[in-house]
Amino acid sequence: RPQTHRSSVAREMANVLDTSLLQALVLTRQSPGAIELLKGLNYCDLKICEEFLKEKSDYMVLLELYRSNDMHREALQLLNRLVEESKSAMANADFSKKFNPQMIIEYLRVLFFLLCHHMTDTVIHFVT
């Protein structure tokens, strides 16, 4: 029983550390580092990070947060909204370059590849 408590405390500590690290990276304008953190094994608190990234309008990191947590619907909804906003006359040129329809296509292409790979693994598992 003490081992369970210890592992629970360790996970909670990892959660606090990873969440704080992500916030620090974003606040110090090191978004590429935050994206790398999310691509690997991490214990970031999803709700806290999502709210923080929305508040900071750091959409590239938010997209990676969604992707790394299999929140593909949310990622695609966000991408769609960002692409629509980038088309508006009020969007700056940098924003328009960053968010374009090709991003949605690329996201779906990768998602389709992952789905096919998963299906292949499942079929092989049941065939062998």
Rounded distance, CA 47 to CA 20, Å?
Answer: 13
35-94 confidence digits (pLDDT tens): 999 999 999 999 999 999 999 999 999 999 999 999 999 999 999 999 998 888 666 777
Of 19, 94, 13, nearest to 50 (Cα)?
19
* Coil, helix or strand at residue 91: coil
Q: How far apart are CA 119 and CA 96, in angstroms?
A: 36
1/117 Cα distance (integer angstroms): 39
Distant-in-sequence, close-in-space partners of 103: CB < 8 Å, separation ≥ 6: 79, 82, 83
Give pTM, 2 decimals: 0.83
Average pLDDT, the chain: 89
